[in-house]
Structures are given as structure tokens and as C-alpha cells.
Amino acid sequence: MAGMIPEHKIDEVRSAADIVEVISSYVPLSRAGRLLKGLCPFHGEKTASFTVNPERRIFHCFGCGAGGNVFRFLMMHKGITFPEAVTELAERYGIDLPRVDARGDQAHRGTKTALIEAVALAQKFFEDELEGPGGRPARDYLARRGLGRNLIEEFHLGWAPAGWDNLRLFLESRKIPTEVVERAGLVKQARDGRKYYDTFRSRVVCPISGLDGKTVAFGGRLLVEEENQPKYLNSPETPVYHKGRILYGLDKNRPRLRERRTVLIVEGYFDLLSLAAHGVRHVAATLGTALTPDHLRLLKGYVDQAVLLFDADEAGRNAAARALPLFMSADLDGRVLKLPEGHDPDTFVREFGPEALEEALSGAVDLLDFYLDQTLARYPDSLAGKSRAAQEVLGVIGRVEGRTRQDLLRRALAQRIEVSEEALELSARRRPEQEEEPDGLVRELAADFEMEMLRTILLHPEVGNHFFSTDLGPRLDSPAARRIYEAMAGQYRKTRTVDPDRLIEQLEPAQADLVSGLALGEDGLEDENLNQAVSDFLGRFEERDRRRREVRLSGQIKAAQQAGDNAGLVLLIQEKNRLLKNNAI
């Protein structure tokens, strides 16, 4: 099951949903033979590379690599979960979805729907409290921050009054079960285990919403500091709230992001609100966590560039080291804005105005340059210093996905420290954590061969038995190819076919992107060529295994010679000779 939706109901929705009709609601498509094409909604482009295949019920962008089925399109475009995408399509096509809890009862309690309803009622409670007599201190605070009536209403700001259980009692009066309220992160259980108290008390409250505009959590700021109480407090993670997948304000600000094709990423909701009060709306905020790949995947649908705020100190350098692999792997342009010491976006825009912020943004430096500047400054300007700095930077480069991206970064590093790219390449291969890894080019060629095999299976599932009768998974070099193969094998053994539409739902986003691209490739092979291709693939596995055994034996022979192990040496040479003889037959 997926999010308490029975599998047969998911299949019913899948069959009813017309992927062309759904995607056309968001992206203009034009016919290109048996395919349809349009401008990708997930990255900026002028030439249509976003492709939909109605027969296989999948889409793929050959520009940014995003792909999937109709469920995944809605998940990416609207920032919703898989069950939410299924539910939305079920409503669109008139399919009833019974919700089943762990005991098999028709249940409302404890489901995501129940949690969202509880959070929505809490939002209404907080908004009403802000407008009531007890909300005067909060209204005064918001006025001092420059937040007027329009922004308060747009962002649904509220007030959590003092007192231990105001919200709990309100939700109880609305017949919301305590277990749902607790699971939604709105109350916490007291130490005695008998009572519950409100999570948010004496705080200005900022609702946190997904791209669909539904509130899933809250952030709150204390007006009067209290001992042992944090100034800022966010809801705990819940089944409907994952802080690594949501950016505050993105649902409200995304039209300006699309227009500007750039986003300023700040660290808190009040920075974003203060900027909004000054007319700066191409902004999104993280929620108590560092940027994640899911954050960047959300942003790629709207922008080409993201501007980060880092200090020019050790903390800023470490933050840049974490961010650089994410941005490079996502093919998103990252830049760093350095504000004057002592300023954050809120204080800066209030003191100098939005025009000064725009001017500062125009001078934001490239993320790679910022990281290299900060790292090289930590070491002496000597050969030894440059060598140590290079090793540190190479460690960060090693976390970037894709050999081409890594090569580009090594080239930039080589230019900065004035050494040859060949020397850096050699240094990278000598890094201790890479000593046991196969050569990068060999890995890349192996991945190409393995992906071509997977593509053949996707286009010709009738040959699946040749590849799934024995487990080839452990013999695949590419982790992505291995995971896709395992999912294919599981599906084939159950259904005797491989359906990319269903396969995508079993995979991580990056693997789903690969599958959609493979399945949207050129047409399949004729029978004669197909049989030859199958034979070639299996033969290449045998040849690769043989060569690796030969290399392993050569290494063992060398080690035995160095150790003076004559008896072992004889056995190893005999084994290698048998291997070479069998290959010659």
C-alpha cells in the first residue's frame, strides 16, 4: 500500500488518468509524431525538450533530466506527496478512495487528511486569537516589523496565547481526537503521561505550507524571552511535514521566482516576511535545516540561480562546502551574497532599503569562487599549503555527481592553484578513500553499457527471462543501474513484464529520471538484432568478469612474489593459466 491507499485503487487511478490531459493543464504541448513536446516546467529553456509519451504513460525532459509518470509530474510540479497526487487524480477522474488504517477499518483518524484538517483548524484558532483582545502585543510586534494587514492576511499570521492548553481545548471542542492533535505536532504529552500541553504558547505564529497552499506545520517566535525556551520554534516533523522538503514562502512567492529566474534563500520566516514587506518577493526560506537535494529540486522548477547568505568565516566556508556538491549535482547556479557585518536581510533592507539589496544581489559571487577563496585563505601560499588545500577541495569535488561535473571543478581548481589538470587528476586518484575504487572512466563506460542493457529490457520486456533467470544485480557496477535492475527483476517475476509507469514508483527520484529517459529513447530492435543484442550483453558480462578475475590473480601473484610465498605462487599461476586457457578455447 502507499499512504493507506489500496494498490488496486492506485492502479484504477493510474488507468483512468490521461497523462497528456493532466500535463497539458500546466504545460502547453504540441504533437511531434507519436510523442508530445513542450517547454519544461522544471527549468528555464527556449527550445522544447520536455517530452511526453502517451503510450508508455511517462514524461522526460532531455534538458534537465526530470522524468516520471503522471503521479510524479504532480508531485514535482506541486510539491506534494505520492498519496496526495493519487488522491488529487482520483478526485479529478471521479474515483472513490477508501482510506484504511493499520487495523483495516475505514478510518479518518490518524490519516494525513485528518492531520491536515487539525492543522487547518489550529491555523484558524491562531488567526482569530491575533485579532482578539489578547493578540494586541502580537499585532504591535508585527507593526514594528513593518508587516501590514495585507501581508498578515496573505501569510495567515496568528497568535498562540499564553496558557497551557488553549489550543488543545479548542480542538477537543471540535471533536478532533487527541492522538491526531499530538501526531500533528500541535500538543505534547506531559512527563506524567496523563496530560497534554500546547506546543506553541505566547508566540507569533507563521503557518508553513506546501506548494498546494495547504498548511502542514507552524513556526513560532516568542515575544518575551523565557528561560529554557527557544526564541524560534518549529513544529516537529510529522507524516505531512518534512522540513527537508518544504521551503517557507515558496507557495506564495513562486510567481516572482519564475519571473526573476533567481531566488534569494534566507534562514527564517521573519527574514522572508520583512523582505516581502519591502517588496522583495523572489525569496524562499529554509526551516531550521541546511539545504537538501529536495529543496533544490523544488527550486529548479522556477529558477536558474539561487543566492545564499554566508558569512566570510569558518561557518560560512563549511556551509559552502556542504552546498557546493548539491548545487553542482543539481546543475543549478549557486551564488553567495555577503552582507555587511552585523546585518541580516531583515536589518539590511530596513536600514538601507530594497534598492540597496538589489544592488548587493547583483554583486553576489559564484559559490565555487567563494568556497575556493575561503579554503585557500586557510593555508599558507606555498607548495605544501596549496597541496593541503587541494586535497580538501578534492574531497568536496568527490561528492559531486557525474564525472563531467567533477572534471569541470578540478579544472577550475587547477587554474586557481596554478597546477596542471593531470597533476590534480593523479592526486584525486591517490586520495585514500578512492584507492579501492575503479577508475572513473571505466565506471562511466560500465554505467553506459549497463544502462543500455536496462533500456533494451524496458523496450523489449519479452527478453526479460534472459536477464532475470539469474541475478545480475551484484555484477552491475553502477549503483543506480543495480537499483533499477532489482526493481525490474521484482516486477518481472510477479507480472512477467516490465512497465516503466509502475517501475518509476518504486525508485528514488534520480533513478526515476533515468528510467523515463531510457524508456523514451529510440525505438526498439528487430527480432534478429534483438537476439544478437541479448547475446552481446550477456557475453560482455562474462568477459568483464573474466578480465577482473585475471586482474585480481595478477595482483595476488605479485603479492605472493613479494612475500616469498612460493607454494601459494605456484597455485595462483596455475589458476591464471587455466583462466587464460579457457578463454582461448
Of the ranges 14-23, 342-351, 445-454, the best mean pLDDT one: 14-23
CA angle 557, 560, 563 (to 5 degrees): 155
DSSP, residue by residue, 466-485: HHHTTT-GGG-S-HHHHHHH
3-state DSSP assignment of residue 31: strand
The secondary element (H helix, E strand) that includes residue 334 is strand 333-337
**Cβ contact 176:188 at 8 Å:** no
CB atoms within 10 A of CB 430: 11
CB atoms within 10 A of CB 336: 24
Nearest one of 498, 479, 496, 478 to 488, comparing CA atoms: 498
Nearest one of 276, 217, 286 to 247, comparing CA atoms: 286
- pLDDT tens-digit series, residues 243-301: 888 999 999 999 999 899 999 999 889 999 999 999 999 999 999 888 888 899 888 87
Q: Cell numbers at residue 523, please? A: 525505438
Residue 165's φ and ψ, nearest 5 degrees, are -145, 35
pLDDT(397) > 50: yes
CA angle 448, 454, 460 (to 5 degrees): 135
Q: What is the pLDDT of residue 47?
A: 85
pLDDT(443) > 50: no
Whole-model pTM over 0.85: no
**Cβ contact 533:455 at 8 Å:** no
CATH class of the region 250-372: alpha beta
Question: Which residue pairs, CB below 8 angstroms and at least 24 apart, start in 545-551?
Answer: 545/475, 546/579, 546/583, 549/579, 550/576, 550/579, 550/580
Residue 257's φ and ψ, nearest 5 degrees, are -65, -45
> Which stretch of 203-207, 373-377, 529-533 has the lowest confidence by average pLDDT?
529-533
pLDDT(110) > 60: no
Superfamily of the domain at 112-241: DNA primase, catalytic core, N-terminal domain (3.90.980.10)
Distance (Å, rounded) from C-alpha 478 to C-alpha 62? 21
The domain defined by 7-92 folds into DNA Primase; Chain A (3.90.580)
Which one is predicted more confidently, 156 or 320? 156
Name every residue whose Cβ is closer than 8 Å to that of residue 355 and which is 6 or more positions away in sequence.
none
- The distance of Cα 131 from the centroid of its chain, to the nearest Å, equals 38
Mean of pLDDT values over 395-423 = 83
User: How many DSSP H helices and E strands does the chain contain?
Assistant: 26, 16
The secondary element (H helix, E strand) that includes residue 38 is strand 35-38
Of the pLDDT bands very low, low, confident and very high (cuts 50, 70, 90), residue 109 is: very low
